[in-house]
């Protein structure tokens, strides 16, 4: 195994461990804002994958770049869908509409002031 490959694998493993340690300590109230920030980063990944796909010349590189663009697109769209669903949990629900039959039924009866 070359030293460059070993160094790259070491950085990769350390990044996984660091990411897991940071994400596991995020409280639930901060999850939605962090997801929105992650969506912007995924948008940058999508632009990068499209730039690589534009410069692909061989069939294998074209296929791999197409797969990269497809996965990056799914990641961005899925992130926004999840963020929207989480934000819906914090929206106030509209009060239920009043039944229409109550207003018509009380029209002929005297009110509190005694008028019809």
Domain annotation covers residue 51? yes
Distance of alpha carbon 65 from the chain centroid:
23
What tokens were used for 18?
């660091």
CB 54 within 8 A of CB 66: no
Domain annotation covers residue 97? no
Quote the domain boundaries for residue 75: 30-89
Domain annotation covers residue 79? yes
Summary count for the chain: helices (H), strands (E): 4, 0
Of the candidate ranges 16-25, 50-59, 72-81, 92-101, the one whose mean pLDDT is the lowest: 92-101
If residue 88 lies in a helix (H) or strand (E), which one and from where to where? helix 59-88
Domain annotation covers residue 34? yes
Domain annotation covers residue 73? yes
How many domains, the chain? 1
> pLDDT class for 106, splitting at 50, 70, 90?
low
Domain annotation covers residue 44? yes
Q: Over the stretch 67-78, which tens digit does the pLDDT of each residue have?
A: 999 999 998 888
Q: What is the pTM of this model?
A: 0.53
Residue 25 DSSP label: T
Domain annotation covers residue 41? yes
Of the candidates 51, 67, 49, the one whose C-alpha atom is nearest the C-alpha of residue 59 is 67
Domain annotation covers residue 25? no
């Amino acid at each position: 195994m070359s030293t460059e490959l070993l160094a790259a694998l070491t950085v990769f493993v350390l990044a996984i461990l660091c990411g897991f340690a940071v994400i596991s300590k995020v409280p639930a109230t901060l999850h939605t804002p962090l997801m929105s920030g992650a969506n912007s980063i995924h948008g940058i990944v999508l632009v990068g994958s499209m730039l690589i796909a534009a410069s692909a010349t061989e069939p294998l590189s074209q296929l791999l770049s197409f797969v990269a663009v497809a996965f990056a697109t799914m990641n961005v769209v899925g992130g926004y869908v999840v963020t929207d669903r989480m934000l819906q949990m914090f929206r106030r629900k509209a009060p239920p509409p009043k039944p229409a039959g109550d207003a018509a039924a009380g029209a002929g009866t005297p009110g509190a002031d005694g008028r019809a």
